[in-house]
Amino acid sequence: MASLGDMLFLLVAFAVLMFLVGKFAWKPVTKMMDARADKINNDLDYAENARTEAQTLQEKRQAELKNSQADAVKIVSQAKENGEKQRQQLVDAAHTEVATLKANAQQDIAQQKQDALNSAKDDVAELSLAIASKIIGKELNADDQQTLIDSYIKGLGDANGTH
* Cα 43 from chain centre: 51
Tell me which DSSP letter residue 2 carries.
-
- The reported pLDDT for the residue numbered 143 is 75
pLDDT digits (tens, 9 = 90+) for 64-93: 999 999 999 999 999 999 999 999 999 999
- The reported pLDDT for the residue numbered 24 is 85
Confidence category of residue 139, pLDDT binned at 50, 70, 90: low
Q: How far apart are CA 81 and CA 53, in angstroms?
A: 41
Tell me which DSSP letter residue 161 carries.
T
Strands (E), 80-154: none
Q: How far apart are CA 111 and CA 100, in angstroms?
A: 16
Rounded mean pLDDT of 99-105?
Answer: 92
**What percent of the chain clears pLDDT 70, i.e. is strictly above it?**
87
Which stretch of 29-33, 80-84, 144-148 has the lowest confidence by average pLDDT?
144-148
Q: Where are the domains of the chain?
A: 26-160
